[in-house]
Amino acid sequence: MFYSPSLRGFYTPDLHGALVLHIDDPLWVRPTINITLQPGESFPTSDGTIKNDTEVPLDLADIEDWRIEHPQVEVPNPACQIPADAVEESLWPAPYNDLMAGQAAGQNIVPDENGFPVLVALDQPTAAELRSKAILVELATLDAAGARPARAIALAVASGAAPAAEDLTRLQEIEAQAVALREELAALEI
């Protein structure tokens, strides 16, 4: 399991690909040897096996030694989707399951100064932040409430008639409430 501090996400090689691949070393050259096969002995080759079916020893020169395994090298996996800044779980201060349990209990998972995932308490909004959100909801409600009288006034003016007094009064009341709320919002220190 890995954690990316920049993306604040968890990654696993099973889903996102291994970080590295182990491949046959492309620079390795299979060594050759000189051997003497006694009657009845055999030796592995790239094409199968050489067997001495004669009654006398058989001398072979510069035969590739297929008894030696091809060495592997480690290379970056081009298909890996784990971010470069990801940190392996063995380095974290808390295991993945503990982090998930903390998150389920209402905590946030954030990177610490080393990029390791740690649990922190959720920030609780201040009274000013809560009031600010309430004011914005009230302003949206007032905007919606002002649409009907504003539309009635616009239609009356467009038709050459005088707007209804109750529409004018209602629109003035709504605007006065909105001005007071905007002033309160501006005075809040958020």
Q: What is the pLDDT of residues 74-103, one digit of tens each?
A: 999 999 999 999 999 999 989 999 999 999
Mapped onto helix, strand or coil, the DSSP state of residue 88 is strand
- In degrees rounded to 5, what are phi and psi of residue 105? -85, 5
- Indicate yes or no: pTM above 0.85: no
* Strands in the chain per DSSP E: 2-4, 9-11, 20-24, 32-37, 42-45, 48-51, 58-64, 72-76, 87-88, 107-111, 117-121
Residues 6 or more apart whose Cβ sits within 8 Å of residue 123:
none
Q: Where are the domains of the chain?
A: 127-187
Do residues 24 and 72 touch, judged by C-beta distance below 8 A? Answer: yes
Q: Identify the pLDDT of residue 129.
A: 86
Structural contact between residues 32 and 62, judged by C-beta atoms closer than 8 angstroms: yes
**Burial (0-12, 13-18, 19+ Cβ within 10 Å), 26:** exposed
d(CA 129, CA 119): 24
The type of residue at 107 is: Q
**How many CB atoms lie under 10 A from the CB of residue 175?**
13
- Is-contact 135 129, C-beta < 8 A? no
pLDDT score for 190: 64
Contact (Cβ atoms closer than 8 angstroms) between residue 58 and residue 52: yes
- What does the pLDDT read at residue 14? 93
Show the CA angle centred on residue 137, arms to residues 136 and 141, nearest 5°. 115
Instruction: Using pLDDT thresholds of 50, 70 and 90, give the confidence band for residue 126.
Output: confident
Averaged pLDDT, 48-65: 92
Distance linking the first and last C-alpha atoms of the chain: 39
The 10s digit of each residue's pLDDT in 4-48 is: 999 999 999 999 999 999 999 999 999 999 999 999 999 988 888
The CA distance from 163 to 150, in Å, is: 10
Instruction: Give the pLDDT of residue 122.
Output: 80
